[in-house]
Amino acid sequence: MKQLKTAKILTCDDLKRILDSIAVTKHAERNRAMILIMVLAGLCVKETANLLVGDVVDECGQVRDEIHLRPEQTKNQQAHSVLICKGLKIELQRYIATLNDLNPSAPLFYTQKRKGFTANTLTQHFFWLYKNAGVYGASSESGRNTYLHAQDTDSSKSAYSLLPLKMIKTK
């Protein structure tokens, strides 16, 4: 029987390397927000690529406490909600501050050509982010798997608790 291969679970050292590498890239805030939304909220690549500004930001320009995903945004065509922890909220608010267009129907994460990512282009983008950071064996689903692993390992532990506090910017 063939064993299914799962995406690598990121360690704290992996996350530190990824975030440090991202910090010097052209779209650092966007890349950081995309990595952290997957690790800290458990979104898969398709969900991350399909997020709109209005899914995450309210009418006052503040990050919501919860993201409601519509069936067409999800991998399994099932609507569901995702809670946003305090640290992720801070990170997303920092990213939102860099956006010129807060139109609720605009893509939350955009390519260099200012178009929304597709699941495929975002998968390729994550490949290069991980490779440039020297994190081998990671794939576009590693962020989600890291989140799920943290949930399964100890119900009192979240993926957020895996990150050293200095990695999450609080100001």
Instruction: State residue 3's pLDDT score.
Output: 61
**Per-block mean pLDDT, blocks of 10 residues, the chain (171 long):** 73 92 94 95 94 96 95 90 93 94 93 89 95 92 85 55 46 41
Instruction: State residue 141's pLDDT score.
Output: 86
Q: CATH classification of 12-165 is 3.40.50.150, yes or no?
A: no
Domain boundaries, the chain: 12-165
Instruction: State residue 49's pLDDT score.
Output: 95
Residue 34 and residue 165: Cα distance in Å, rounded? 18
Cβ count within 10 A of residue 39: 25
Instruction: State residue 4's pLDDT score.
Output: 59
Q: How many residues does the chain have?
A: 171
Tokens of 76: 């399994």
Instruction: State residue 169's pLDDT score.
Output: 47
Q: Are 94 and 53 in contact (CB under 8 A)?
A: no
H/E stretch holding 83 = strand 80-83
Instruction: State residue 165's pLDDT score.
Output: 40
Burial category of 110 from C-beta neighbours within 10 Å (exposed 0-12, middle 13-18, buried 19 and up): middle
